[in-house]
Amino acid sequence: MKKIMIALLSLFLAFATLQAAENTDSFTLKTIEGKTLHVRGTENGLLFKELKGKVVFLEFWGTHCPPCLMSIPHYIDLTKKYGDKMAMVAVEVQGTTEAQLKAFARQKGMNYTVVPQREAMDFVNYVARRAGWHGSIPFLIILDQRGNFVTAQAGLLPEDALAGVIQQLDKIEKKKAAKSAAPAPENNSSK
């Protein structure tokens, strides 16, 4: 009986450890608008449940960072032009309060998703650990429509380069969709 109890306890502990490991790759982020984003770490990237099917630009930035401020108009324009194909998620990491961040976003006309640091610390630490990011901002991660990692960049990127990435990933995705929708070739062997 003692061996059975020890075996059951061991099995329970193994299951609990597995569950805890799985849960560390899932995050819930609250935006300054009160919306919720569900993010799951995958083998090849990050999957934003609410943004599935879109190219995701995930930027870690700050309200007191000059290059970060210069990128805001780029992201506003890209969201206007490609909002059906891409989503911008900006996670503020300089500790600006949520009230200050809301006012800042409104003043700058930010038309994309903004997440305060307070709502994202576990997620920020997870990304930093996985990406080898040491805190320099702006830090941009680009994910394709399936949540797969495409590239990461510290520093400011020009708007036309970002638009080019969206266009290229859109072409690739359309080719994949066409390929998977094409009927299988028939076997025309003669008798």
Give the per-residue pLDDT at 188.
57
Cβ atoms 76, 105 nearer than 8 A: no
Q: Cis omega before residue 138 (within 30°)?
A: yes
Query: Domain 25-178: which CATH class?
Result: alpha beta
**Residue 177 confidence (pLDDT):** 83
**Token pair for 149:** 């990692």
Chain centroid, CA 96 distance in Å: 21
> Which residue, among 71, 48, 50, 46, has the nearest Cα to 61 in the 3D structure?
71
Residue ranges, the chain, pLDDT below 70? 1-24, 184-191
Summarised one tens digit per residue, pLDDT across range 18-68 is 333 444 699 999 999 999 999 999 999 999 999 999 999 999 999 999 999
- Looking at residue 189, its pLDDT comes to 54
Q: Tell which residue, 87, 83, 88, 54, has the closest CA to residue 71.
A: 88
Are 119 and 21 contacting, i.e. CB atoms less than 8 angstroms apart? no
Q: What is the dihedral of CA 99, 92, 109, 146, to 10 degrees?
A: -130
Q: Specify the pLDDT at position 184.
A: 63
- pLDDT value of residue 59: 98
